[in-house]
Amino acid sequence: MVIKHGMNSGFSGRNYMLASSAVFRRQQFLIRSLGGYTDHPLQKRMQEVKSIGGPSVEADAENILRAITPTLDPSRHKGQAGKIAVIGGCREYTGAPYFAAISALKIVSSLLRLIYIWCRFVSCFLYKRCCSSHKSYSPELIVHPILEESYSVRDEDKRLISGKVLAEVHKWMERFDCLVVGPGLGRDPFLLDCVMEILKLARQSNVPIVVDGDGLFLVTNSLDLVSGYPLAVLTPNVNEYKRLVQKVLGCEVNDEDAHEQLLFLAKQIGGVTILRKGKSDLISDGDTVKSVSIYGSPRRCGGQGDILSGSVAVFVSWVRRLILAPDGDLNISPRNPTVLGCIAGSALLRKAASIAFKDKKRSTLTGDIIECLGRSLEDICPASR
């Protein structure tokens, strides 16, 4: 059974922090020297976590990208490269869901230079007033204006509107290979309630979920939405990761034992995959820890997390299709599709950011990085192979 907040286990988050501190180790040494009591269960649990995860291993990201990227095949038709849906957007944030959706589209567009019939399907389920801008951003995106905020819905109509939103998404859910939930979502209570029901529906339908942005705010406060669901991916930045650690482990982030803490965090949430964004991206599903340290860009423009979430969704859907195929045999490690998808998405974003920075330097924007996604994938995995 998964313990939601990690505070009732024999190895609590606060004890976990003490176990890695020099003060605690000195205290234990003095107690042992005096023949007194030592917390053997705590020490045993700490050792178990370290032995399971071991040291973080740099992922062989480029070989993973090559292994999971589909080859060009003129016999394929529309939709066979996967179908991604993005749930997001609010009055203030219209760019984030667009960045996530267009990044997913661009990755496959890099494979579409000659074979136009092999295209992918990207849907955006957005806050209604975002939709006109997104339709003008790109005609390739299929935009569904269904989400509402509290101020535009009367209390007596909320149940009806929520039911209509869920019914609309339900019609499409079986077509999706992965959901991206959270880019630009905001924190409106009614909107979050609707998205909560969408997450439950996705889980019931066994659809992979990549949670980013305010989607992380939602699941951090409602861990049951993802707890114990191995097809869930969380992609927290520094502040989002801090809130997640405080909520689940009841302690502060420990950078000295970052790998073990991430491993334990993922395990406490029931084996979800967590991609901790940072100088090096750390990825864990509770069984292993991998890192991606490919040099990216010193220019930290906003929106890169949205590119990452869209990219991870594509690669997770590709890996899962390969694994589920009758003759699917991925001779790469690890085998978890969500971990592999995170490694591939992280590596591609970092390479694209590096290329964009070489050209634009200090003026690099998110759109510049998106335009380099296809080139980056082509450099690693040529279409003519």
**Entry pTM:** 0.81
355-384 residue pLDDT tens: 999 999 999 999 999 999 999 999 998 876
Q: Which of 92-101, 207-216, 220-229 has the lowest mean pLDDT?
A: 92-101
Mean pLDDT of 94-103: 89
Same domain, 180 and 196: yes
Asked whether residue 6 is domain-assigned, the answer is: no
Same domain, 43 and 107: no
272-323 residue pLDDT tens: 999 999 999 999 999 999 999 999 999 888 899 999 999 999 999 999 988 8
Neighbours of 86 (CB within 10 A): 35
- Which residue ranges are tagged as binding site for (6S)-NADPHX? 184, 237-243, 306
* 274, β-bridge pairs: 234, 284
- Which residue ranges are tagged as binding site for ATP? 277-281, 296-305
Mean pLDDT of 61-68: 93
Question: Are 271 and 228 in contact, with CB atoms under 8 Å apart?
Answer: yes
Across the beta sheet with 289-292, the strand order is 57-58, 289-292, 281-284, 273-276, 232-234, 209-211, 178-181, 83-88, 121-127, 142-147
Same domain, 45 and 69: no
Question: Are 268 and 249 in contact, with CB atoms under 8 Å apart?
Answer: yes
Mean pLDDT value across the chain? 80
141-158 residue pLDDT tens: 777 777 777 877 888 988
Would residue 38 be called left, alpha or beta, if left means φ above 0 and alpha means ψ between -120 and 50 degrees?
A: beta
Asked whether residue 2 is domain-assigned, the answer is: no
pLDDT-based confidence at 140, cuts 50/70/90? confident
The answer to whether residue 1 scores a pLDDT higher than 50 is: no
Q: Which of 237, 235, 241 is nearest to 311 (CA)?
A: 235
How high is the pLDDT of residue 119? 29
Asked whether residue 292 is domain-assigned, the answer is: yes
How high is the pLDDT of residue 263? 96
Same domain, 110 and 203: yes
Mean pLDDT of 131-136: 51
How high is the pLDDT of residue 147? 77
pLDDT-based confidence at 165, cuts 50/70/90? confident
How high is the pLDDT of residue 247? 97
Asked whether residue 5 is domain-assigned, the answer is: no
Give the DSSP per-residue string, 147-169: E--GGGS-GGGHHHHHHHHHHHH
Number of domains in the chain: 2
Same domain, 166 and 188: yes
Same domain, 172 and 145: yes
Mean pLDDT of 111-123: 33
Mean pLDDT of 76-89: 78
Same domain, 355 and 326: yes
Asked whether residue 270 is domain-assigned, the answer is: yes
The answer to whether residue 186 scores a pLDDT higher than 70 is: yes
- Which residue ranges are tagged as binding site? 184, 237-243, 277-281, 296-306
Same domain, 129 and 42: no
How high is the pLDDT of residue 384? 67
244-260 residue pLDDT tens: 999 999 999 999 999 99
Range(s) of the domain holding residue 244: 57-380
Same domain, 33 and 132: no
Give the DSSP per-residue string, 275-318: EE-SSSEEEE-SS-EEEE-----S---TTHHHHHHHHHHHHHHH
Would residue 286 be called left, alpha or beta, if left means φ above 0 and alpha means ψ between -120 and 50 degrees?
A: left
Rounded (to 5) percent helix, strand, coil in the chain: 50, 10, 35
Same domain, 22 and 125: no
